[in-house]
Amino acid sequence: MVYNERELRRNQALDIVQKMCVAARTAPKGKGVDIVECAVVDGDEQEALACAMEAIGQERGHRFFRRDAGCVRRSQCVVLAGTRTKMQGLNCGYCGFPTCGQKPAEVPCEINAVDVGIALGSAVSRAQLYGVDTRIMFSAGTAAPLGLLGEGVRQVYAIPVGISSKSPLFDRS
């Protein structure tokens, strides 16, 4: 049996993104509270994500959403990582309010934002070990359907994963 590398890319990408999700899951969390959620989209869901990005770009007048939609389409799959909203009760003031009790409910706890950032860094560091192309995208995370990662998950970011001789995420017009 001969396996052509070009035919193996999709399966390789799916194997690597599983490892990326493990790295995100095991990344350190503020106060040791695990509120990070991850998922992987490909195929029809990946195309729906790209279409949602284009619609948001059109609606808000952000050309980079439309540009990034092309990157999502050219990738093998996309990792989504977000955080469930949970006030950590540290009264740290990082959110801009002196105490957690003074913070409006719609303002995210900054510790949650740090948690998803650390998880994203862990995920892309795992991808780097395998030499695959990635880019953390606010745009694709914003376009991900609410509830896709579970109830109450916000601050979602996306990581398209590309395996090709030319990065689908680098030369962006």
Name the residue among 159, 8, 149 with its Cα closest to residue 71. Answer: 159
Cα separation, 120 vs 126, whole angstroms: 10
Domains of the chain: 5-162 (3.40.109.10)
- The reported pTM is 0.92
Q: What is the pLDDT of residues 92-133, one digit of tens each?
A: 999 999 999 999 988 989 999 999 999 999 999 999 999 999
DSSP 8-state class, residue 50: H
Phi, psi of 71 (to 5 degrees): -65, -40
